[in-house]
Chains A and B, each alone.
Chain A
Amino acid sequence: MRPPPKRIVVAMSGGVDSSVVAGLLREQGHDVIGVTLQLYDHGVAVGRKGACCAGQDIYDAKTVADRLGFPHYVIDAEKRFADAVIADFADSYARGETPVPCISCNQSVKFTDLLGLARELGAEAMATGHYVRRIEGADGPELHRARDTTRDQSWFLFATTRDQLEFTRFPLGDMPDKAAVRAEAARLGLLVAEKPDSQDICFVPQGSYADVVAKLRPEAAEPGEIVDASGAVLARHQGIVNFTVGQTKRLGPAAERGGQRQQVVSIEPGTRRIVVGPRGTGRTELRLRNLNWLSTPPEVERACTVKLRAGETPRPARIVRSADGGVSVRLDAPASAAPGQACVFYDGDRVLGGGFILRDDVPATH
Chain B
Amino acid sequence: MIYLDANASETLRPVARAAAMSAMDEPGNPSSIHGAGRAARRILEDSRARIARRFGAGIEDVVFTSGGTEANALAIAGLGAGRRKLFSAIEHDCVRTACRDGQSLAVDRHGVLDLAGLDTALANGGPALVCLMLANNETGVIQPVAEAAAICLAYGALLHVDAVQAAGRIGADIAALGAASMAISGHKMGGLKGAGALLLAPGVTLPPLIGGGGQERGRRGGTPPLPAIAAMAAAEAAPGEAEVLAGMRDMIEAAATDAAAVACGAGAARLANTTCLALPGVRSDTQVIALDLAGFAVSAGAACSSGKVARSHVLDAMGLENLSGCAIRVSLPWNATEAEARSFAEAYAAMAGRLARHAA
Tell me the A residues contacting B by CB distance below 8 Å.
33, 38, 52-54, 58-59, 62, 71-76, 116-117, 119-122
Q: Is B290's beta carbon under 8 Å from chain A? A: yes
Most A-side CB within 10 Å, residue of B293, B305, B354, B355: B293
Report whether B286 and A117 are in contact in the complex, using a CB–CB cutoff of 8 Å: yes
Known contacts A116-B358, A119-B358; is A53 also within 8 Å of B289 by CB? Answer: no
Q: 13 pairs across A/B with beta carbons < 8 Å?
A: A53-B306, A53-B308, A54-B304, A59-B306, A71-B289, A76-B285, A76-B308, A76-B310, A116-B358, A117-B289, A120-B358, A121-B289, A122-B293
Roughly how many angstroms separate A52 CA and B285 CA in the complex, as a whole number?
20
Write out, one digit per residue, whether chain B residues 292-316 have a CB within 8 A of any chain A CB (1) or not (0).
1100000000001111111000000
Q: How far is the CA of A52 from the CA of B309 in the complex (A)?
A: 14
What B residues does A116 contact at CB under 8 A? 358
By beta carbon, the residue of chain A nearest B293 is A121
Known contacts A73-B285, A75-B285; A54 and B306 CB within 8 A of each other: yes
Assess the A120–B304 pair: CB atoms within 8 A. Answer: no
In the bound complex, do residue B308 and residue A75 qualify as a contact, i.e. CB atoms below 8 Å apart?
A: yes
**List of B residues within 8 angstroms of A122 by Cβ:** 293
Contact of B304 among A33, A53, A62 (CB under 8 A): A53
A16 to B306, CA, bound (A): 19
Q: How far is A207 from B123 in the complex, measured between Cα atoms in Å? A: 48
B286 cross-chain contacts in A, Cβ below 8 A? 117, 120-121
Q: Is the CB of A73 within 8 A of B358?
A: no
B285: A residues at CB distance < 8 A: 73, 75-76
Complex Cα distance A137/B289, Å? 34
Could you tell me the distance in whole angstroms from the C-beta of A110 to the nearest C-beta in chain B? 16
- Cα–Cα, bound, A121→B310 (Å): 20
Closest approach, in angstroms, between the C-beta of B5 and any C-beta of chain A? 15
Q: What is the bound-complex CA distance between A91 and B354, given in angstroms?
A: 38
Q: Are B305 and A71 in contact (CB under 8 A)?
A: no
Q: Given the known A-B contacts A116-B358, A120-B355, A120-B358, are A38 and B289 also in contact in the complex, defined by CB atoms under 8 Å?
A: no
Q: Please determine whether B306 and A38 come into contact, CB atoms closer than 8 angstroms.
A: yes
Chain B residue nearest in CB terms to A37: B308
Kindly list chain B residues whose C-beta atoms are within 8 Å of the C-beta of A71. 289, 292-293
Q: Which residue of B lies closest to A7 (CB)?
A: B293
Instruction: List A contacts of B305 (CB < 8 A).
Output: 52, 54
Closest residue of chain A to B306 (Cβ to Cβ) is A54
Q: CB-CB < 8 A to B293: which residues of A? A: 33, 71, 121-122
Q: How far is the CB of A202 from chain B (nearest CB, A)?
A: 16
Residues of A within 8 A of B355 (CB): 120
Across the interface, name the chain B residue whose C-beta is closest to A9.
B289
* A74–B358 CA distance with the chains assembled, in angstroms: 20
Query: Are B306 and A73 in contact (CB-based, < 8 A)?
Result: no
Which residues of chain B come closer than 8 Å to A53, judged between CB atoms?
A: 304, 306, 308
Task: Given A38-B308, A75-B308, A120-B355, output 12 extra A-B contacts at Cβ < 8 Å.
Answer: A53-B308, A59-B306, A71-B289, A71-B293, A72-B307, A73-B292, A73-B307, A74-B306, A76-B309, A120-B290, A120-B354, A120-B358
Bound-state CA distance A52–B304 (Å) is 9
Find out whether the CB atom of A74 lies under 8 angstroms from the CB atom of B290. Answer: no
CB A244 to nearest CB in B, in angstroms, measures 34
**Binary interface encoding of chain B residues 49-61 relative to chain A, with 1 for a CB under 8 A from any of its CBs, else 0:** 0000000000000
